Amino acid sequence: MSLQLGETAPDFTLDSTEGPIQLHEYIGNHWLVFFSHPKDFTLVCTTELGAFARRKAEFDKRNTKLLGLSVDPVNDHKAWIKDVEDVSGAAVNYPILADPDLEVAKLYGMFHPKADPKLTVRSVFIIDPQKKVRLTLTYPPSAGRNIDEVLRVLDSLQLTDGRKLTTPVDWRPGDEVIIAPSVSDADAKQLFPEGWRTVKPYLRLLRYSSTAQH
């Protein structure tokens, strides 16, 4: 299957490096960044696990949990974590799910046999507190993820969530945002009394920030 944006993330229970985890219970009232790895003791994944660990505090500030997955057993994960810590200098401070029967890998569409019939792809899912899938990214096994981009999209999702706003190309927190085209100018005056600048009739920009996003 291929998960689509807005769908409820399928629930499951798997063992992990921190004991059994039921996905929806683990998410609770948080956002979640859920990322998969093709296999333990692989070069790119080793760098990624350490990078997520070093930057976990940035996700914590965004009310966001981290959750990894690999298709090897927990004992292999625990041995692998030692390598990750040696390479990165950071302790792995979030759970890594064990999926040796490929239950979740198949449930979440992590196999792309035309890319590589033996390995799962490197997937990222952002899931919101309502357990809805809000972002999917798929990387080939050969390409490492960009954590800055994961954080950037997370910031965009949290800033615009429930608001009549979108973010433009290369947006960063503090940059101008776009008023949704479904909002009339009359309604926009009520929603955004501080005003905006009109570039095109359908492109209205303003600076907007909210501590509620985190």
What positions carry a catalytic annotation?
A: 45
Distance (Å, whole) CA 13 – CA 23: 6
Could you identify the residue written with the tokens 């969530």?
Answer: 161
Round to whole Å and give the CA distance between 137 and 146: 11
Look up tokens 């070093």; give the residue. 54
For the stretch 54-90, what's the b/e string if a residue is b when 16 or more beta carbons lie within 10 angstroms of its beta carbon?
A: ebbeebeebebbbbbbbbbebebbeebbeebeeebeb
Residue 23 contacts residue 30 (beta carbons within 8 Å): no
CA gap 4, 117 in Å, rounded: 23
Both tokens of 41, joined, read 């003791």
Cβ–Cβ < 8 Å for 63, 35: no
